[in-house]
Amino acid sequence: MDGRAPEHVKDAAAVLSRYVNALAIRPKPQGSSWSVDRRDAEIRMWAQYARVPVINMESVLWHPLQALADLMTLRETLGSVRGKRLAVVWTHSPTPATPAAVHSLVHTALSQGMHVRIAHPGGYELDGEVLAQSSAIAEESGATLETGLTMQEAVRGTHVVYARSWHSLEDYGNPTLSASRRARTGSWIVDEKLLAQGADARLMHAMPVRRNLEVTDEVLDGPRSLVYQQAENRLHSQKALLTMLLS
């Protein structure tokens, strides 16, 4: 809004704050530089200038609404989540997302005392500052965090497998290099053989999901898939959030 648009965030936030009781913002990243986009400057401006609650619908760095639904699903399925094991498995997709959902999930799970393992190919490491924060959260809550694992290492003995595709931050803003790197990762898929290595492991995915690229039909449609329950919980957790913010 600071470019050719006639209205700036400062003015738009001030005006809309007089119309509504809350604002839900999903900013569009520029997509050329991770160091720039990770600052989440636009949504921070909305939060600074609005006079009503501002809800992050998904920024470059964070997806708190998804994390709320994920935690609700984990609690419904596992009961107490403290001490339970969560495997976050990178999956192959022609349309990867930012790591926002995974960043928020990892922070949330660790804060609740879950042991988190993250599996991904080389070059798909999460944001360094977020990982440093995650380690600090784990130390405070008594949880553990392992990163850079193979799929098998992450899933072995785990209670929940969370499948998710995200951009390589090394290639962020370079679609040619990104596509070339991604083309070598076709084996990163969650199938029944992988899921069976867990401790009666359940499947989660933020959706939409690329069937038979990220997760096989057998797993998605199987009895241990939580994806539809997880999607439904977006509704309930966001209603609860609005109730809290507006009461």
Q: What is the DSSP letter of 171?
A: G
What would the two tokens of residue 189 be?
């898929």
Higher pLDDT, 96 or 51: 51
User: Which amino acid, one-letter code, is at 237?
Assistant: S
pLDDT one-digit tens code per residue, 154-184: 999 999 999 999 999 999 999 899 889 988 8
Of 164, 166, 130, 165, the C-alpha closest to 145 is 130
Q: What is the mean pLDDT of residues 136-146?
A: 98
Percentage, residues of the chain above pLDDT 70: 98
Helix, coil or strand: residue 117:
strand
pLDDT one-digit tens code per residue, 84-128: 999 999 999 998 899 999 999 999 999 999 999 999 999 999 999
Global confidence as pTM: 0.95
Whole-angstrom distance, CA of residue 194 vs CA of residue 176: 30
* pLDDT of the residue at 76: 98
Helices (H), the chain: 9-17, 34-37, 41-49, 64-78, 100-111, 128-141, 151-155, 175-182, 192-195, 217-220, 227-246
What domains appear along the chain, each with residue ranges and CATH number?
9-56 (no CATH), 64-232 (3.40.50.1370)
Using N-to-C axis directions, what is the helix angle for 41-49 and 9-17, rounded to 10°?
40
Confidence of residue 6 (pLDDT cuts 50, 70, 90): low
Whole-angstrom distance, CA of residue 13 vs CA of residue 166: 31
Q: What is the mean pLDDT of residues 202-216?
A: 97
* pLDDT of the residue at 5: 65
* pLDDT of the residue at 4: 67
pLDDT one-digit tens code per residue, 182-200: 888 889 999 999 999 999 9
Whole-angstrom distance, CA of residue 112 vs CA of residue 81: 7
What's the start-to-end Cα distance of the chain, in Å? 31
